[in-house]
Amino acid sequence: MNVNQQTPMASPYGQPQPGYGQPSYAPLGGGYPAPYAPYNGPASAYQHGAPPQGPARAPPTSAPPAVSSSQGYSQYSQGDIQNGPPPVAQPMQRPAVSQPYTPGAMNLSGPHPSYPQQYAVPPSMQQVTNQMTGMQIGPGPPPTPAGPGYAPPLTSQPPISAAYSVAAPPSYTQGPPPVSADPPQPPPHSEAGGPQPYYGGPPPPQQTFPPSFSSAGPPSQAPGQQQSFPSGPPPVPQSTYTGPPPPTAQTSFPPPPSSQASSFPPTAPPSTAPPAQYPGPMPPPGPPSQPPFQSGPPPQSQLPPTSMAQANHLPPGPPGAMQQPPPQSGMQGGYPPQQNGAFGQVRGPQPGYAGQYPGQPSYGGPAPAPAPAAPSQKRLDPDSIPSPIQVIEDDKAKTSEPFTTGVRGQAPPLVTTNFQVKDQGNASPRFVRCTAYNMPCTADMARQSQVPMAAVIKPLATLPPDETPPYIVDHGEGGPIRCNRCKAYMCPYMQFIEGGRRFQCGFCSCVTDVPPHYFQHLDHTGKRVDCYDRPELSAGSYEFLATVDYCKNNKLPQPPAYIFLIDVSYNAVKSGMVNIVCQELKTLLDYLPRENPDTDSVVRVGFITYNKVLHFYNVKSSLAQPQMLVVSDVSDMFLPLLDGFLVNVSESRVVIESLLEQIPEMFADTRETETVFGPVIQAGLEALKAADCAGKLFVFHTSLPIAEAPGKLKNREDKKLVGTDKEKSLFQPQVGFYGSLAKECVAQGCCVDLFLFPNQYVDVATLGVVPVSTGGSIYKYTYFQAQADCERFLNDLRRDVQKPMGFDAVMRVRTSTGIRATDFFGSFYMSNTTDVELAGLDCDKTVTVEFRHDDKLSEETGALMQCAVLYTSCSGQRRLRVHNMAVNCCFQLADLYRNCETDTIINYFSKYAYRSVLTTPTKTVRDTLVNQCAQILSCYRKNCASPSSAGQLILPECMKLLPVYLNCVLKSDMLLPGGDVSLDDRAYLRQLLSCMDVAESHLFFYPRLLPLVKLEGDSLPVAVRNSEERLSKGGVYLLETGLHLFLWVGANAQQELLLNIFGTPTFSQIDPNMTSLPILDNPFSQRLTEIVESFRAQRSRYMKLMVVKQEDKAELIFKHFLVEDKSGSGGASYVDFLCHMHKEIRQLLS
Amino acid sequence: MATYQEFIQQNEDRDGVRFSWNLWPSSRLEATRLVVPVSCLFTPLKERPDLPPVQYEPVLCSRANCKAVLNPLCQVDFRAKIWACNFCFQRNPFPPSYAGISDVNQPAELMPPFSTIEYIVQRGPPTPLIFLYVVDTCLEEEDLQALRESLQMSLSLLPADALVGLITFGRMVQVHELSCEGIAKSYVFRGTKELSSKQIQEMLGLMKPAASSQQGRPVAPHDAAASSCKFLQPVHRVDMNLTDLLGELQRDPWPVPQGKRPLRSTGIALSIAVGLLEGTFPNTGARVMLFTGGPPTQGPGMVVGDELKTPIRSWHDIQKDNARHLKKATKYYEALANRAAVNGHCMDIYACALDQMGLLEMKCCANLTGGHVVMGDSFNTSLFKQTFQRVFSKDYNGEFRMAFGGTLEVKTSRELKVSGAIGPCVSLNAKGPCVSENEMGIGGTTQWKICGLNPSSTLAMFFEVVNQHNAPIPQGGRGAVQFVTQYQHSNTQKRIRVTTIARNWADAQSQIQHIETSFDQEASAVLMARLGVFRAESEEGPDVLRWLDRQLIRLCQKFGQFNKDDSTSFKLSESLSLYPQFMFHLRRSPFLQVFNNSPDESSYYRHHFVRQDLTQSLIMIQPILYSYSFHGPPEPVLLDSSSILPDRILLMDTFFQLVIYHGETIAQWRKARYQEMAEYENFKQLLQAPLDDAQEILQTRFPMPRYVDTEHGGSQARFLLSKVNPSQTHNNAYGWGQESGAPILTDDVSLQVFMDHLKKLAVSSAA
């Protein structure tokens, strides 16, 4: 990915690169180069985005490169993906260049990287030639060696890197081009383009003949292409793959490279005019391509078809490379070089590809057209396409310093990376993440690029212990100082003028007098001398104490209250839920949120149980026994008692315990199966109203509320509607009652958390309306069984009760003139277009805000945004939390593409899509997503990438994972349900996603798959990609999705491993129903437990552990999360989708 | 031959019946000319210690629309074992069990002393008595405490197997579940929403519609009873539980803002009580006892808003049609009362408040169901405490003086028809041949439901003679009336009491003198008063007074002896001599005069007036005044201002008040504490005498009267002064100076003036 990101570098390279590895890049490599670009970026300070990478990577390059390179290489070898990484390394150096290049580079980038690589590896020529290789090379080796020199090219590369998009094939082709490129670097560029095109390459075929893809794909299509593509990439990541075929491949490749290289070179030339090439080649490639590929193997074919072939074939090539890489992989560090070399060679091979192909044939299996070879070639080697793992690891590697927020427009490390943040004027990425840290200055640009401008804001995020929570600022009785016009709060962007007597608002430029009590002199730079003493002048995030003017009814708020509403119908009792809740509450009530850990919480509690009627409890401390008040008049809910319902835990402890003891007994013999739901929430709401406070309801509910009462529901689950235009109605609430109830709840500051224990359809879509609108959460435990699910439920409950939260909150996002917040996603209610009202806001809730231009922004001042959240703390204090964020603005699209964050974009896209299903048929939603993505990438290709073959897929470095992630979104249960996914599950996921932050959504869509081989030291094993291919029968893997944990045990897992984990040496003795691992006295088991616990600790919801034995029934569920594979519900594999995306892009371009 | 006095007394003692006329005019025309209708006061459950009930079923006439009970007036053919119904003349064979009947072996019901007889019958399983407490919690702490204690105390008075239930209300209504261990459970209803009986039962979980419909069989009564157990439990089982519950009873916790009344959901509370009983124990004796400390202020049945600045309606408002909630609330409570009555449940109201509490609107709850109404200033007074205790008083057999679910059926011989009844009853709408078209009181039926009965409950029954003017005096010369009262005795037995009476017919033209002597002026006064009060419920006060006056004048014209236009010549015979005086006091009584009384008080007085027996009713019309002095033993004196003398102690009993008045001199002596000196022991005794007598009255009176001890010039003396005939006023006191007495400051006419006018009008030829 990095590589891709580096694309920019590529661009730079692109120019220069053309000659360079472009070819090589062209293949996937192109993408990689991009990564480099980033590096360059860093170095040159390209685009911020890039720079970071640059630096980080740069250093790593050597080391990381190794990795990356290895991967990269592997990638290279395999696919462009790797290239991505490598480029990174290189980019470092090239940054400066990259920038220049960037424009063209974008495309070029892809190739560029290769350049670097090539450079890196002089042989690169060859390597380069193999764009693929180049790619790989670029990443790994190039960085170090070539890096510097190439750096410039790299720069260009970065952007290009993205190129991956192109079908792997291109890469292959590119691969070849690179070779040629090497010589005629320029060409390579083209090739580079090619490389990117690689995929594109395939695309060409596709284009020409969709078949081509198909060809690629067809053969093994999914597999084929993927493989082929991946093959390309795989090498890199798979370097690991090394193990597998690589060797051979490599060997084969190597040879091909040369040839390819040569061939590529030709292509390379095209690179200069990549498009042309593509076009030209592309078409021809299609048919020929395959042949080329096949022929590819035979260098000739490659040459001729070069562009085409390359494009198409390239991919294959990469695969070959990939294979090769694997072996290399072993030697990551080495790989790069080797790869470079090898790849280069390999690339060279591109011609070699041909050869590779041959080799690949194995892969090729897929290659339809190209007889045996072709198939193999066509199959995209998965290793050759951008690898999320690679990108993640690269980012980790380059992040060593704390991230300081002082620099405007600087993109933070990825969410998967552990890093420390120092607040120096902008909000920490833990609070705010943006899709782009360099926004387009004009609406036109924004429209053209289609890159969403959004920020993902988690206002009350919990910070790690080593970071300081926001300071609290008290501006006295007058309240926080604000701009007179736009009402923005005092922040570092306020410019003090006239000696400090007035200040100019950074948002609206209005000048406001400084109140006397706030006056302070300015120093010679125009800063207030107390600037660093005041958080509001020096920090990105801080809190103001709000005055009574900021309170409802101008009255200071009461401390909030928590009300527990427990379903005691037959199902609830029978499943053990009632008992568990009551037992747990006895202790849990001691952990209600408080601000000062030494004092008792001021949160009051109340209890209600219900089935068809409601039971309120009077737990006044003066009573000897609790009193139960039954309200059967559910049609018109009211609070039957005032005094004694909400009590202080410490005062009424005895009575409460007695109550909790008795509730399960009282209902032990209940035969009531019907429940109500609307009145339950109304009851809680009435209680809060009566107490005149905000608060939270914890509703423990089991079934569809069919009893006669407001909000009564009927079972409308109709699977026949799924997939039709009417499907959307199933996600809309079936009655309007809950909507208006939610509105009332919000007005009172009544947040509702819903714990569901359904045994059948409960209509989550409708029941969830209130929780979702009030900032609450939904937890769902289908077929709850006390024994199996108790732990998960209790942990969720504990966390939910204890977590810090704010109540009765209003959030407002202010921005500089020129843009404005236009759309909001999350769990909240909006009564107008600007204020986000949250009855409750906890530390896990995230709001995604979309911005639109309403005027021009200026490069000079950048774009500012200030998110202010007014809320009542758990101690009843009214506060204002302010997060400030400044990003750069640009007139160059390349700058935009260089500073995007794919994870955040995906977060935005997914939320957008998940919301759209309410109003639009699911298919349309999917198409829209694909379209927008294609537009983003094609815009890049058109405007930023260096010219290259149209068959080349060129991805921006920062976005090279966009396709894979997007595919994950598209095939998620919400948008593409499998047969076994219930409507409730989908509605649940829909609501779950709506308030996820970037880290969660990332994991949600691309789960983390860890091989449990050696668990030594504190570091985690490097994750592997989510594909079945990556699983070794002899291994044990841990898969984390954010909602589930799976422990997959291979059928041939080593006895020692099994002994260590399960305490039994035989596979068959493992109990697939176990929910927790045995605690064994061996370091491995202990470490594994630690890891599992640490994973759970990181997530807002407890993840239940499922042990999945290979070839067990449960494996189907597990496989569902192997998101790079074709899904059971018809979702495309990564490779297939990449090809498809490439096709779309090409269509847009033509 | 006994005098009519004795005859009347004897009849009353035996049958609990007092007729206005003891000889009946034989034609309709003559009857109407008598002014006072043929009517009677009937006390169905008059205590008869000498009357042991018989343990078998009554024998009924076999004619479908007659069903009269075999009685001493029937002609019996002992040989043929056949009896003839004296109402329809149907000849009926005796049932097999009477096979041994003969001249000398007669069943009790054929013996003349058993004109009133009581049967114990077996009808279904015995059902326990049910007491449902409906308690207002919007009380001052002191009041609530007193009420709590009274209620706890009452638990010990209830029969051990009686079912008891508790509903409390304030802003919300809580139905307490009594069966549960551990947590005290209650069902809560909001006080503003009217619910149908079905809804209430559903919400209380009293209906199992799903179960019954599934199994396709109706809910067995046992099921209903079992499920109701949650709320109605035998006293012996929940004694402790309920005592604790009552002990923990808190004041309504909802804050009452300044300037507001507490929100009191009396209407809903009562409707839930009614609904609960309706669903669980229909047609079973039950008592809903409402304890309230103020007016209903919300929901249906609301009498006044919660704004203190809006005062509760007064007579003035009502006359001006300015009482917003009056009609709606009245209608609401009426509907409730009717529902309760249908199921045989009676409703008591125990209201203790300084201000009005909406009795005017709620009165029918008690009036229609035979419930008690008790009004006091506070629950923390002996008036309430003792009255409440007296509800549970027991008779000579150790049984409660209360009966439930009574049905009174009246059968008449052919010449007579039933016009209606006035008393604590509702019509059962039983049409029959003896229903008169001419309604007086609650008419149009031969059967009435009296849900709550006690030995003093008395109904006024009105009859119409339908014999035509030219028709001969009916054969046998006697008309008969049979009262059949079925009820649930407090010991859960079902009983039927049958009273059969007969009176001679007389030709009014030839036997007017006889008829005149058969006039029972006491009974007539009360009967006319009941008619008046009944009218006053629906008519303007002055109209009623005018009607009463006209009746009185007509009566005087009919029976007085006078020369035309010579008022001095006017004379009334002995049998009518007191009647005008009763009317005079009736006109001044709070039953017809609303001046100086709140609507609640008027309702309260009227409520008691229409249900007490003759003696008590007469006291209410014309209070009794005793005088104590050194001149002799205590003596009754005229209820006249002239009786108020300085050296007398007066004891006045108005039924509602018991006033001891110390004359000026006595008061001075008392102030000087002569009674504490040994040598004035006699004075001490004099002071003590009225106290003792008062105590005696207090012992038996229900409800407890207000006890007033006052003296000359005391502010409380007004109770006495407002009752006595103002023969001396500030206008004439000095003119009439020769007599000593206390002038009354009033513009009311005195009895003397009243009589003068009456005579004048009676003799006037114009009338």
Residues of A in contact with B253 (CB under 8 A): 641-644
pLDDT for B366 equals 93
Name the amino acid, one letter, at A797.
L
Q: Residue A336: name the closest of A164, A88, A6 by CA.
A: A88
CB contact under 8 A, A638 and B190: yes
pLDDT at residue A941 greater than cutoff 50: yes
CA distances from A737 to A712, A713, A740, A767, A878 (A): 9, 10, 6, 10, 31
Residues of B in contact with A646 (CB under 8 A): none
> What integer best gives the mean pLDDT of chain B?
89
pLDDT for A953 equals 83
Average the pLDDT over B173-196 and give the result: 86
Model pLDDT for residues A316-352, shown as the tens digit of each residue:
333 333 333 333 333 333 333 333 323 333 333 333 3
- Contact present, A98 and A184 (Cβ < 8 Å): no
Q: Residue B616: name the closest of B46, B22, B11, B5 by CA.
A: B46
Q: Residue A389: name the closest of A45, A90, A78 by CA.
A: A78
Token pair, residue B670, equals 């008392």
Task: Tell which of A625, A630, A682 to mutate to test the B interface (max B CBs under 10 Å).
Answer: A630
* Neighbouring C-alpha atoms within 13 Å toward the C-beta of B746: 17
pLDDT for B423 equals 93
CA distances from B220 to A779, B179, B198, B209, B215 (A): 44, 21, 17, 12, 12
Report d(CA A1095, CA A1105) in Å as an integer: 11
Token pair, residue A472, equals 């609290």
pLDDT for A378 equals 52
CB contact under 8 A, A627 and B205: no
Residues of A in contact with B255 (CB under 8 A): 642
User: Which among B182, B205, B254 has the least Cβ separation from residue A642?
Assistant: B254
C-alpha distance from A595 to closest chain B C-alpha (Å): 31
Model pLDDT for residues B309-321, shown as the tens digit of each residue:
999 999 999 989 9
pLDDT at residue B76 greater than cutoff 70: yes
- 3-state SS of A339-355 is HHHHHHHHHCCCHHHHH
CB contact under 8 A, B185 and A630: yes
Report d(CA A1105, CA A1039) in Å as an integer: 9
Tokens 């920490």 sit at which residue?
A428
CA distances from B625 to B590, B622, B651, B655 (A): 18, 9, 6, 12
User: Which among B183, B184, B188 has the least Cβ separation from residue A631?
Assistant: B188
C-alpha distance from B253 to closest chain A C-alpha (Å): 6
Coil, strand or helix at A20: coil
CA A814 to chain centre: 25
**Nearest chain B residue to A659, by CA:** B183
CB contact under 8 A, B253 and A625: no
**Nearest chain B residue to A638, by CA:** B190
pLDDT for B740 equals 60
Average the pLDDT over A174-193 and give the result: 37
Q: What sign results for the dihedral spanned by CA atoms B104, B106, B108, B110?
A: negative
Model pLDDT for residues A409-466, shown as the tens digit of each residue:
889 999 999 999 999 889 999 999 999 999 999 999 999 999 999 999 999 999 999 9
pLDDT at residue A56 greater than cutoff 60: no
pLDDT for A15 equals 40
Model pLDDT for residues B453-485, shown as the tens digit of each residue:
999 999 999 999 998 887 777 666 789 999 999
Tokens 């290259």 sit at which residue?
A948
Model pLDDT for residues B248-273, shown as the tens digit of each residue:
888 888 889 999 999 999 999 999 99
Task: Tell which of A627, A636, A669 to mutate to test the B interface (max B CBs under 10 Å).
Answer: A627
C-alpha distance from B160 to closest chain A C-alpha (Å): 26
Geometric angle at alpha carbon B177, from B176 and B182, rounded to 5°: 115
CA distances from A638 to A586, A680, A877, B193 (A): 27, 10, 28, 11
CB contact under 8 A, B190 and A616: no
pLDDT for B766 equals 66
Q: Which of A374-378, A508-512, A1116-1120, B501-505 has the lowest mean pLDDT?
A: A374-378
Q: Residue A422: name the closest of A537, A343, A540 by CA.
A: A540
CB contact under 8 A, A633 and B204: no
Average the pLDDT over A692-698 and give the result: 93
**Nearest chain B residue to A663, by CA:** B183
What ipTM does this complex have?
0.85
Coil, strand or helix at A747: helix
pLDDT for A251 equals 34
Model pLDDT for residues A504-537, shown as the tens digit of each residue:
999 999 999 999 999 999 998 888 999 889 999 9
- At A20, is the pLDDT very low, low, confident or very high (cuts 50, 70, 90)? very low
Model pLDDT for residues A1052-1084, shown as the tens digit of each residue:
888 888 888 888 888 888 888 887 888 888 888
Model pLDDT for residues B266-301, shown as the tens digit of each residue:
999 999 999 999 888 888 889 999 999 999 999 999
Q: Which residues of B448-466 are buried (b: 16+ CB within 10 A; e: fewer)?
A: bbbbbbbbbbbbbbbbbbb
> What integer best gives the mean pLDDT of chain A?
72
Q: What secondary structure letter does DSSP report for A44?
A: I
C-alpha distance from B181 to closest chain A C-alpha (Å): 10
User: Which among A623, A630, A636 has the least Cβ separation from residue B187?
Assistant: A630
User: Which among A616, A627, A640 has the least Cβ separation from residue B184?
Assistant: A627
Q: Residue A907: name the closest of A541, A378, A434 by CA.
A: A434
pLDDT at residue B767 greater than cutoff 70: no
pTM of the model: 0.76
Task: Tell which of B166, B187, B207, B254 to mutate to test the A interface (max A CBs under 10 Å).
Answer: B187
Average the pLDDT over A619-647 and give the result: 88
C-alpha distance from A1036 to closest chain B C-alpha (Å): 53
- Contact present, A160 and A192 (Cβ < 8 Å): yes
Q: Which of B120-129, B541-550, B668-677 has the lowest mean pLDDT?
A: B120-129
- At B631, is the pLDDT very low, low, confident or very high (cuts 50, 70, 90)? confident
> What secondary structure does DSSP assign to B404-434, as a single string?
EEEEEEEEE-TTEEEEEEESS-EE-----TT
Residues of B in contact with A645 (CB under 8 A): none
CB contact under 8 A, B182 and A640: no
If one counts every other C-beta atom within 10 angstroms of the C-beta of residue B32, the result is 13
Q: Residue A46: name the closest of A357, A410, A337, A520 by CA.
A: A410
pLDDT for A597 equals 78
User: Which among A632, A636, A662 has the least Cβ separation from residue B183?
Assistant: A662
Average the pLDDT over B403-413 and give the result: 92
Model pLDDT for residues A1013-1030, shown as the tens digit of each residue:
777 777 888 899 998 888
Secondary element (H or E) of residue B546: helix B541-559
* Neighbouring C-alpha atoms within 13 Å toward the C-beta of B380: 9
pLDDT for A976 equals 85
- At A881, is the pLDDT very low, low, confident or very high (cuts 50, 70, 90)? very high
Report d(CA B681, CA B325) in Å as an integer: 58
For chain A, the residues whose C-beta falls within 8 A of a C-beta of chain B are 613, 615-617, 623, 625-633, 636, 638, 640-644, 659, 662, 665-666
Higher pLDDT, A576 or A168: A576
Q: Chains A, B: CB contacts under 8 A, how many?
A: 67
Report d(CA B395, CA B382) in Å as an integer: 22
pLDDT at residue A248 greater than cutoff 90: no
CB contact under 8 A, B253 and A644: yes
pLDDT for A121 equals 37
Coil, strand or helix at B573: coil
The set of residues, in sequence order, having a beta carbon less than 8 Å from that of A614 and lying 6+ positions away, is A608, A630, A631, A632, A634, A637, A676, A679, A680, A683
Burial of residue B336 (CB within 10 Å: 0-12, 13-18, 19+) is: buried
Model pLDDT for residues B581-627, shown as the tens digit of each residue:
999 999 999 999 888 889 999 999 999 999 999 999 999 999 999 99
CB contact under 8 A, B174 and A640: yes
C-alpha distance from B205 to closest chain A C-alpha (Å): 9
pLDDT for B228 equals 52
Higher pLDDT, A294 or A979: A979
CB contact under 8 A, B190 and A643: no
C-alpha distance from B264 to closest chain A C-alpha (Å): 14
User: Which among A625, A633, A665 has the least Cβ separation from residue B193?
Assistant: A633
- Contact present, A336 and A142 (Cβ < 8 Å): yes
- At A281, is the pLDDT very low, low, confident or very high (cuts 50, 70, 90)? very low
If one counts every other C-beta atom within 10 angstroms of the C-beta of residue B711, the result is 18
User: Which among A629, A638, A662 has the least Cβ separation from residue B186?
Assistant: A629
**Nearest chain B residue to A637, by CA:** B190
C-alpha distance from A591 to closest chain B C-alpha (Å): 26
Task: Tell which of A617, A638, A659, A663 to mutate to test the B interface (max B CBs under 10 Å).
Answer: A638
Q: What sign results for the dihedral spanned by CA atoms A107, A113, A116, A117?
A: negative
pLDDT for A1067 equals 87
**Nearest chain A residue to B199, by CA:** A633
C-alpha distance from A971 to closest chain B C-alpha (Å): 46
φ, ψ dihedrals at A662, nearest 5°: -90, -25
What is the maximum span of chain B, computed from C-alpha positions, in angstroms? 90
CB contact under 8 A, B205 and A644: no
Model pLDDT for residues B543-573, shown as the tens digit of each residue:
999 999 999 999 999 999 998 888 889 999 9
pLDDT for A727 equals 85
Higher pLDDT, A1130 or B371: B371
Average the pLDDT over B372-384 and give the result: 92
Residues of B in contact with A628 (CB under 8 A): 183-186
**Nearest chain B residue to A660, by CA:** B183
Higher pLDDT, A287 or A946: A946
Higher pLDDT, A131 or B410: B410
pLDDT for B733 equals 53
For chain B, the residues whose C-beta falls within 8 A of a C-beta of chain A are 172, 174, 177, 182-190, 193, 195, 199, 202-205, 248, 250, 253-255
